Amino acid sequence: MSAISVRNLTYEFPRKRVLTGVNLDVEHGEIVSIMGSSGSGKTTLLKLLTGLVKPTGGQILIDGEDIVPMPEARLDEVRLKLGMVFQYAALFDSLSVYDNIAFGVVRHRRPMRHELDRLVKDRLADVGLEGIERLHPSELSGGMQKRVGLARALAMNPAIVFYDEPTSGLDPISEYKIDALIMSTRERKHVTSIVVSHHLPSVFRISDRVAMLHAGRIAFIGTPDEIRTSTLPEIQAFVHPETQQPFAEQELEDFV
Protein backbone atom coordinates (compact mmCIF):
# COMPACT_ATOMS: atom_id res chain seq x y z
CA MET A 1 0.00 0.00 0.00
CA SER A 2 1.37 3.39 -1.00
CA ALA A 3 1.54 6.28 1.46
CA ILE A 4 -0.39 8.40 -1.06
CA SER A 5 -2.33 7.30 -4.13
CA VAL A 6 -4.07 9.77 -6.41
CA ARG A 7 -6.52 8.46 -8.98
CA ASN A 8 -8.07 10.46 -11.85
CA LEU A 9 -7.96 13.65 -9.80
CA THR A 10 -9.77 16.62 -11.30
CA TYR A 11 -10.25 20.15 -10.02
CA GLU A 12 -12.04 22.92 -11.85
CA PHE A 13 -13.61 26.34 -11.42
CA PRO A 14 -16.81 27.29 -13.28
CA ARG A 15 -14.84 28.35 -16.36
CA LYS A 16 -11.40 26.85 -15.81
CA ARG A 17 -10.07 23.33 -15.30
CA VAL A 18 -6.93 23.38 -13.16
CA LEU A 19 -6.19 19.64 -12.89
CA THR A 20 -7.29 16.93 -15.29
CA GLY A 21 -7.01 13.21 -14.53
CA VAL A 22 -3.94 13.36 -12.28
CA ASN A 23 -2.57 9.97 -11.19
CA LEU A 24 0.28 9.63 -8.72
CA ASP A 25 1.64 7.09 -6.23
CA VAL A 26 4.08 8.03 -3.48
CA GLU A 27 5.67 5.19 -1.55
CA HIS A 28 6.42 5.19 2.17
CA GLY A 29 9.67 7.02 2.89
CA GLU A 30 10.00 8.56 -0.56
CA ILE A 31 10.86 12.16 -1.34
CA VAL A 32 8.79 13.13 -4.37
CA SER A 33 9.03 16.64 -5.77
CA ILE A 34 6.32 18.22 -7.88
CA MET A 35 7.54 20.87 -10.26
CA GLY A 36 5.98 22.92 -13.02
CA SER A 37 5.63 26.45 -14.31
CA SER A 38 3.38 29.06 -12.71
CA GLY A 39 -0.27 28.16 -13.18
CA SER A 40 0.43 24.47 -13.75
CA GLY A 41 -1.58 23.43 -10.68
CA LYS A 42 1.20 22.65 -8.16
CA THR A 43 -0.27 24.60 -5.25
CA THR A 44 -3.78 23.36 -6.02
CA LEU A 45 -2.56 19.76 -5.95
CA LEU A 46 -0.89 20.35 -2.59
CA LYS A 47 -4.12 21.78 -1.13
CA LEU A 48 -6.04 18.77 -2.41
CA LEU A 49 -3.57 16.26 -0.97
CA THR A 50 -3.77 17.90 2.46
CA GLY A 51 -7.56 18.03 2.40
CA LEU A 52 -7.75 21.82 2.44
CA VAL A 53 -10.01 21.80 -0.62
CA LYS A 54 -12.20 19.13 -2.21
CA PRO A 55 -11.57 17.93 -5.76
CA THR A 56 -14.18 18.00 -8.50
CA GLY A 57 -13.57 14.32 -9.10
CA GLY A 58 -11.23 11.42 -8.38
CA GLN A 59 -9.70 9.82 -5.31
CA ILE A 60 -6.97 10.75 -2.83
CA LEU A 61 -5.91 7.77 -0.73
CA ILE A 62 -3.79 8.30 2.39
CA ASP A 63 -2.58 4.91 3.62
CA GLY A 64 -5.40 3.35 1.60
CA GLU A 65 -8.20 5.60 2.90
CA ASP A 66 -9.96 7.90 0.44
CA ILE A 67 -10.11 11.33 2.06
CA VAL A 68 -12.36 12.87 -0.61
CA PRO A 69 -15.73 11.69 0.79
CA MET A 70 -14.67 11.93 4.43
CA PRO A 71 -16.70 14.10 6.82
CA GLU A 72 -14.69 16.94 8.35
CA ALA A 73 -14.37 15.24 11.75
CA ARG A 74 -12.77 12.14 10.24
CA LEU A 75 -10.60 14.26 7.94
CA ASP A 76 -9.27 16.13 10.98
CA GLU A 77 -8.09 12.79 12.37
CA VAL A 78 -6.25 11.98 9.15
CA ARG A 79 -4.66 15.44 9.09
CA LEU A 80 -2.92 14.58 12.38
CA LYS A 81 -0.73 12.26 10.29
CA LEU A 82 0.24 15.11 7.98
CA GLY A 83 2.76 17.88 8.53
CA MET A 84 2.89 21.07 6.47
CA VAL A 85 5.84 23.41 5.97
CA PHE A 86 4.55 26.58 4.33
CA GLN A 87 6.33 28.71 1.75
CA TYR A 88 6.75 31.68 4.11
CA ALA A 89 6.90 29.58 7.30
CA ALA A 90 3.48 30.96 8.42
CA LEU A 91 4.60 31.35 12.02
CA PHE A 92 2.43 33.24 14.48
CA ASP A 93 4.20 36.59 14.89
CA SER A 94 2.79 37.21 18.36
CA LEU A 95 4.00 33.87 19.73
CA SER A 96 7.48 32.81 20.75
CA VAL A 97 9.31 30.03 18.94
CA TYR A 98 8.39 27.75 21.86
CA ASP A 99 4.68 28.49 21.55
CA ASN A 100 4.74 28.21 17.75
CA ILE A 101 6.20 24.71 17.94
CA ALA A 102 3.94 23.69 20.81
CA PHE A 103 0.76 25.09 19.25
CA GLY A 104 -0.61 21.96 17.56
CA VAL A 105 0.55 19.62 20.30
CA VAL A 106 -1.19 21.64 23.03
CA ARG A 107 -4.36 21.84 20.97
CA HIS A 108 -4.61 18.14 20.18
CA ARG A 109 -2.72 16.23 22.89
CA ARG A 110 -2.49 18.37 26.06
CA PRO A 111 0.90 17.09 27.31
CA MET A 112 2.41 17.80 30.72
CA ARG A 113 4.66 20.87 30.84
CA HIS A 114 7.89 18.89 31.23
CA GLU A 115 6.90 16.73 28.25
CA LEU A 116 6.26 19.84 26.18
CA ASP A 117 9.59 21.37 27.22
CA ARG A 118 11.42 18.23 26.09
CA LEU A 119 9.47 18.04 22.84
CA VAL A 120 10.23 21.64 21.84
CA LYS A 121 13.89 21.25 22.79
CA ASP A 122 14.21 18.03 20.77
CA ARG A 123 12.48 19.42 17.68
CA LEU A 124 14.69 22.52 17.71
CA ALA A 125 17.72 20.24 17.98
CA ASP A 126 16.42 18.32 14.96
CA VAL A 127 16.61 21.50 12.84
CA GLY A 128 19.84 22.80 14.38
CA LEU A 129 18.33 25.71 16.32
CA GLU A 130 18.95 24.87 19.95
CA GLY A 131 18.30 27.54 22.55
CA ILE A 132 16.03 29.93 20.64
CA GLU A 133 12.78 28.99 22.38
CA ARG A 134 12.07 32.49 23.72
CA LEU A 135 12.78 34.40 20.51
CA HIS A 136 9.95 35.62 18.26
CA PRO A 137 9.71 35.17 14.46
CA SER A 138 10.67 38.81 13.85
CA GLU A 139 14.04 38.09 15.46
CA LEU A 140 14.83 35.25 13.04
CA SER A 141 16.20 35.17 9.51
CA GLY A 142 14.08 33.74 6.71
CA GLY A 143 16.01 30.48 6.76
CA MET A 144 15.63 30.16 10.52
CA GLN A 145 11.89 30.79 10.24
CA LYS A 146 11.56 27.96 7.74
CA ARG A 147 13.50 25.65 10.04
CA VAL A 148 11.18 26.56 12.93
CA GLY A 149 8.28 25.84 10.57
CA LEU A 150 9.71 22.36 10.00
CA ALA A 151 10.19 21.87 13.75
CA ARG A 152 6.53 22.79 14.27
CA ALA A 153 5.45 20.30 11.60
CA LEU A 154 7.56 17.54 13.17
CA ALA A 155 6.19 18.21 16.67
CA MET A 156 3.04 16.25 15.77
CA ASN A 157 5.16 13.27 14.66
CA PRO A 158 3.61 13.13 11.17
CA ALA A 159 3.93 10.21 8.78
CA ILE A 160 3.85 12.51 5.75
CA VAL A 161 5.34 16.01 5.45
CA PHE A 162 4.36 18.44 2.70
CA TYR A 163 6.70 21.28 1.74
CA ASP A 164 5.48 24.29 -0.25
CA GLU A 165 8.42 26.01 -1.99
CA PRO A 166 10.72 25.35 0.99
CA THR A 167 13.74 27.20 -0.45
CA SER A 168 11.89 30.16 -1.97
CA GLY A 169 13.53 33.50 -1.16
CA LEU A 170 16.59 32.03 0.53
CA ASP A 171 20.26 32.58 -0.18
CA PRO A 172 22.25 29.59 -1.56
CA ILE A 173 23.68 28.58 1.82
CA SER A 174 20.24 28.59 3.47
CA GLU A 175 18.81 26.69 0.49
CA TYR A 176 21.39 23.97 0.98
CA LYS A 177 20.65 23.77 4.72
CA ILE A 178 16.91 23.35 4.06
CA ASP A 179 17.61 20.66 1.46
CA ALA A 180 19.85 18.84 3.92
CA LEU A 181 17.14 19.06 6.58
CA ILE A 182 14.51 17.59 4.25
CA MET A 183 16.78 14.63 3.50
CA SER A 184 17.93 14.10 7.09
CA THR A 185 14.34 14.34 8.33
CA ARG A 186 13.40 11.50 6.00
CA GLU A 187 16.29 9.41 7.27
CA ARG A 188 15.77 10.10 10.98
CA LYS A 189 11.98 10.22 11.13
CA HIS A 190 11.19 7.83 8.26
CA VAL A 191 8.62 10.27 6.92
CA THR A 192 7.23 10.43 3.40
CA SER A 193 7.93 13.82 1.82
CA ILE A 194 6.08 15.74 -0.91
CA VAL A 195 7.93 18.84 -2.06
CA VAL A 196 6.33 21.45 -4.33
CA SER A 197 9.10 23.51 -5.88
CA HIS A 198 10.27 25.19 -9.07
CA HIS A 199 13.86 25.46 -7.82
CA LEU A 200 15.64 22.88 -9.97
CA PRO A 201 18.94 22.57 -8.03
CA SER A 202 17.01 21.67 -4.87
CA VAL A 203 14.60 19.38 -6.69
CA PHE A 204 17.43 17.41 -8.29
CA ARG A 205 19.43 17.32 -5.05
CA ILE A 206 16.78 15.90 -2.72
CA SER A 207 14.30 13.90 -4.79
CA ASP A 208 13.92 10.16 -5.29
CA ARG A 209 11.45 10.96 -8.05
CA VAL A 210 10.17 14.13 -9.70
CA ALA A 211 6.68 14.69 -11.14
CA MET A 212 6.33 17.35 -13.84
CA LEU A 213 2.95 19.08 -13.94
CA HIS A 214 2.03 20.61 -17.25
CA ALA A 215 -1.37 21.92 -18.36
CA GLY A 216 -3.08 20.31 -15.37
CA ARG A 217 -1.63 16.84 -15.96
CA ILE A 218 1.45 14.96 -14.84
CA ALA A 219 3.42 15.02 -18.07
CA PHE A 220 6.25 12.85 -16.73
CA ILE A 221 7.45 11.24 -13.52
CA GLY A 222 10.86 9.74 -12.99
CA THR A 223 14.19 10.04 -11.25
CA PRO A 224 16.10 13.33 -11.45
CA ASP A 225 18.36 11.81 -14.12
CA GLU A 226 15.35 10.68 -16.15
CA ILE A 227 13.86 14.18 -15.94
CA ARG A 228 17.15 15.77 -16.99
CA THR A 229 17.48 13.53 -20.06
CA SER A 230 13.82 13.50 -21.10
CA THR A 231 13.18 14.64 -24.66
CA LEU A 232 9.61 15.74 -24.03
CA PRO A 233 9.33 19.36 -25.26
CA GLU A 234 7.52 20.63 -22.14
CA ILE A 235 10.24 19.18 -19.90
CA GLN A 236 13.05 20.46 -22.09
CA ALA A 237 11.51 23.94 -21.96
CA PHE A 238 11.40 23.87 -18.15
CA VAL A 239 14.67 22.11 -17.36
CA HIS A 240 16.77 23.55 -20.18
CA PRO A 241 15.32 26.99 -20.98
CA GLU A 242 18.66 28.10 -22.38
CA THR A 243 18.16 25.74 -25.33
CA GLN A 244 14.89 27.33 -26.40
CA GLN A 245 14.56 29.59 -29.41
CA PRO A 246 15.55 33.18 -28.57
CA PHE A 247 12.93 35.91 -28.77
CA ALA A 248 12.59 37.60 -32.11
CA GLU A 249 13.18 41.36 -32.03
CA GLN A 250 9.46 42.08 -32.46
CA GLU A 251 8.56 39.65 -29.65
CA LEU A 252 10.92 41.49 -27.31
CA GLU A 253 9.39 44.83 -28.24
CA ASP A 254 5.91 43.44 -27.57
CA PHE A 255 7.07 42.01 -24.24
CA VAL A 256 8.55 45.24 -22.90
Q: Indicate the domain borders of the chain.
A: 83-157
Compute the residue count for the chain: 256
In the chain, % of residues over pLDDT 90? 57
Q: What is the pLDDT of residues 74-99, one digit of tens each?
A: 999 999 999 998 877 788 899 999 99
DSSP E strands in 14-92: the ranges are 16-26, 31-35, 57-62, 65-66, 82-85
Counting other chains too, the contacts that 217-220 makes at CB distance below 8 Å and 24 or more residues apart are 217/19, 217/20, 217/21, 217/22, 218/22, 218/23, 218/24
Q: Is the pLDDT higher at 246 or at 76?
A: 76
CA distances from 38 to 31, 158, 205 (A): 22, 29, 21
**For residues 241-252, average pLDDT:** 55
pLDDT over 50 at 252, yes or no: no
pLDDT over 60 at 108, yes or no: yes
In the chain, % of residues over pLDDT 70? 93
Highest mean pLDDT among 103-112, 119-128, 226-235: 119-128
Alpha-carbon span 159 to 190, nearest angstrom = 8
Alpha-carbon span 56 to 68, nearest angstrom = 10
Full-model pTM: 0.88
**For residues 158-176, average pLDDT:** 89
